């Protein structure tokens, strides 16, 4: 939000109580279940969470890119003050590519394998900006230069399979940036890449965001990736945002026991080897039959009976940007009480649990 334009009064994106359900043979999958947040222009938001927590569905739901069959989508999505909910696909098309665009996880599958790179970049340029072929080609070449692809002119005539993974991801970024969108979604943009390449891609995305004063929603399961690249982080669990805070705040003073467990279960380079990792027992909730109360309660070491029956709402901390959904957050008296109990018990069971 440091980069946000002070003159903007309304946020670029305002999502409130967004629900996205899928009707399936098993029942209704509540993939996104009441998510609200807002994003200023130029700001970057990181969304983290375990696999299946609804990150991808959330970002696609906001963009309106989900298929129409068996979908239930409710709530409100305001983009630049305009309500997107209820817009027809036709109306959305003018927003896609121009106003919002997206980078996908797997660069191998996200480019059309049988179409030349040049055409794939030129397509939105010709469609939205009304460029003719040669203009689009020139622009495409410039875009490739922007994403630091060597020999851009030659690349335009190549097919995706002739490029390496990192290159392809750069092409994707070039396509996403082509029409100068104001909001960029990046869904796990580096998961399929090697670490050495990942670093550069992240750098590139951030650099372009700053240059173009775009907002960014960066979706990932790797907390490390969001730590250095976003202004605000939202933690998702079971289709809900369970905690949201400015990056630094989140790392220094998380409130959700889930956030804590997540942080502590990740091996860190700075820790000595053989440092025992904290674990979260069990597995993420079934989104068809989510638990009654707090989604995390069945796995939460600090859960109390109340958590199992009542769903916690979002609580705002002293920092208005920092919200969480927990009855007994980290630092609360009940939290400390239970923590003490647990440490005593683990002394007794020092032979070591299996988890």
Partner 1 sequence: MAGTGKAHLRNSPDVLLSVNDLVVEFPVARTGLKVNAVSGISFDVIKGETLGIVGESGCGKSTTGRAIMQLPAPTSGSIDFNGQELTTLSKDEMRDARTKIQMIFQDPISSLNPRRKVRDIVLEPLLVWKRGTQEERDILVNRILEDVGIDPQRAAESYPHQFSGGQCQRISIARSLVLDPQMIICDEPVSALDVSVQAQVINLLENLKAKYGLTLIFIAHDLAVVKSISDRVLVMYLGKMCELASSDDLYARPSHPYTNILVDSIPEPDPEVIYAPTAVMGEPPSPINPPAGCRFNPRCPNVQDRCRVEEPEMREIAPAHFVACHNPLTY
Partner 2 sequence: MSEETIIVSDSPDAEINAAIQKKIGWGFWLAISWVILITLLAILAPYLHLKDPRGYFIDIDGNGRPPYGPSFEHWFGTDKDARDIFARTLHGARISLIVGFSAISFGFLVGGTLGIIAGYFRGWLDKIISFTFIVLLSFPSLVLAIMLTALLNRSLFTISMILGILSIAPVGRLARASTLQFSDREFVLAARQIGASDSRIILRELLPNVVIPMSALALLGMAVAIVAEGGLAFLGLSVSQGITWGSLIQIGSDSATTLENAPWIAFFPILLLFLTVLSLNFAGDRLRSHLDVKESSL
Partner 3 sequence: MKFWMQRVAMAILLLLSVSALTFGAMNVLGDPLFNILGPLAGDVNNPKSAALIEEVKAKYDLDKPLPVRYVKWLGDFATGDMGVQFSTDGQPPVSGLIKERIPRTITLLIMAQLLAVMISIPWAAITAARAGKRSDKISTMNSFFLLAMPNFALAILLKYIFSLKLGWFPLTYKAIDPYFERLRQIFLAAVTIALPAAAVYQRLLRTDLITTLQQDFILMARAKGLSRSRVIFRHAIRPSMFSFITVVGLNTGGLIGGSIVVETVFRIPGIGSSLVESVLREDFPVVLAIVILIALAFVIINVLVDILYSIIDPRVRR
Which of partner 3, ligand ATP, partner 1, none has residue 86 at its interface (CB below 5 to 8 Å by kind)? Answer: none
> Is the CB of 52 or the CB of 124 nearer to ligand ATP?
52
Q: How many residues bind partner 2 (CB under 8 A)?
A: 17
Of 222, 174, 177, 180, the C-alpha closest to 198 is: 222
Calpha distance 262→51 (Å, rounded)? 13
Which of ligand ATP, partner 3, Mg ion, none has residue 110 at its interface (CB below 5 to 8 Å by kind)? Answer: partner 3
Tokens coding 145: 């230069």
Using CB under 6 A, pick the residue from 18, 29, 235, 294 that binds ligand ATP: 29
Which of partner 3, partner 2, ligand ATP, none has residue 343 at its interface (CB below 5 to 8 Å by kind)? Answer: none
Calpha distance 198→166 (Å, rounded)? 8
Question: CA 74 from chain center: how many Å?
Answer: 20
Work out whether the CA dihedral 298, 302, 306, 307 comes out positive or negative: negative
Rule CB under 8 A: which of 271-300 touch partner 2?
Answer: 279, 281-283, 286, 288-289, 298-299
> Is the CB of 125 or the CB of 186 nearer to Mg ion?
186
Calpha distance 233→243 (Å, rounded)? 8
> Is 337 in a helix, a strand, or coil?
helix
Q: How many residues bind Mg ion (CB under 5 A)?
A: 1
25 binds partner 2 (CB under 8 A): yes
Judge residue 351's burial from the number of C-beta atoms within 10 Å of its C-beta, 0-12 exposed, 13-18 middle, 19 or more buried.
exposed
> Is the CB of 94 or the CB of 265 nearer to partner 3?
94
Calpha distance 257→326 (Å, rounded)? 8
Tell me which stretch binds partner 1 (CB under 8 A): 59-67, 209-217, 221-229, 302-310.
221-229
265 binds partner 2 (CB under 8 A): no
> Is the CB of 29 or the CB of 121 nearer to Mg ion?
29
Minimum CB distance to Mg ion, residue 1 (Å) = 25
Using CB under 8 A, pick the residue from 50, 123, 200, 321 that binds partner 3: 123
* Strands lying side by side in the sheet with 232-237: 100-103, 183-187, 215-220, 44-49, 232-237, 240-246, 323-324, 315-316
Tokens coding 339: 């923590």
CA distances from 349 to 44, 103, 114, 342 (A): 44, 47, 59, 10
28 binds partner 3 (CB under 8 A): no
67 binds partner 2 (CB under 8 A): no
Minimum CB distance to partner 1, residue 156 (Å) = 20
Question: CA 307 from chain center: how many Å?
Answer: 26
Residues lying near ligand ATP in the complex (CB under 6 A) are found at 22, 24, 29, 31, 49, 51-57, 221, 287
Residues lying near partner 2 in the complex (CB under 8 A) are found at 25-27, 279, 281-283, 286, 288-289, 298-299, 301, 346, 353-355
Residues lying near partner 1 in the complex (CB under 8 A) are found at 50-51, 164-167, 194-200, 202-203, 221-225, 227-229, 247-248, 251, 261-263, 265-281, 283-284, 352, 354-355
């Amino acid at each position: 939000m440091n980069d946000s334009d002070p003159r903007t009064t309304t946020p670029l994106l305002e999502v409130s109580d967004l629900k996205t359900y899928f009707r399936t043979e098993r029942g209704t999958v509540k993939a996104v279940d009441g998510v609200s947040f807002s994003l200023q222009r130029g700001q970057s938001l990181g969304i983290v969470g375990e696999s299946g927590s609804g990150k991808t569905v959330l970002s696609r739901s906001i963009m309106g890119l989900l298929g129409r069959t068996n979908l239930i989508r409710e709530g409100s999505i305001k983009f630049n003050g305009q309500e997107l909910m209820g817009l027809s696909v036709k109306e959305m098309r003018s927003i896609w590519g121009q106003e919002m665009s997206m980078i996908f996880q797997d660069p191998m599958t996200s480019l059309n394998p049988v179409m030349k790179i040049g055409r794939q970049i030129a397509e939105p340029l010709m469609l939205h900006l009304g460029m003719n072929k040669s203009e689009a080609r020139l622009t495409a070449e410039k875009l490739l230069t922007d994403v630091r692809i060597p020999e851009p002119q030659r690349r335009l005539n190549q097919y995706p399979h002739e490029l390496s993974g990192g290159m392809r991801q750069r092409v994707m970024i070039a396509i996403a940036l082509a029409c100068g969108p104001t909001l960029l979604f990046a869904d796990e943009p580096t998961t399929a890449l090697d670490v050495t390449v990942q670093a550069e891609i992240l750098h590139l995305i951030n650099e372009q965001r700053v240059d173009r004063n775009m907002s960014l929603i960066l979706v990932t399961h790797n907390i490390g990736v969001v730590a250095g690249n976003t202004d605000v982080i939202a933690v998702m669990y079971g289709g809900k945002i369970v905690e949201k805070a400015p990056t630094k705040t989140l790392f220094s003073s998380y409130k959700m026991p889930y956030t804590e467990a997540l942080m502590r279960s990740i091996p860190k380079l700075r820790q000595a080897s053989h440092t025992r990792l904290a674990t979260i027992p069990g597995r993420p909730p079934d989104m068809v039959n989510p638990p009654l109360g707090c989604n995390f309660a069945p796995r939460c070491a600090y859960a109390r009976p109340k958590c199992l029956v009542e769903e916690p709402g979002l609580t705002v901390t002293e920092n208005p940007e920092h919200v969480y959904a927990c009855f007994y957050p980290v630092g609360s008296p009940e939290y400390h009480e239970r923590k003490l109990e647990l440490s005593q018990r683990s002394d007794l069971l020092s032979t070591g649990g299996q988890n």
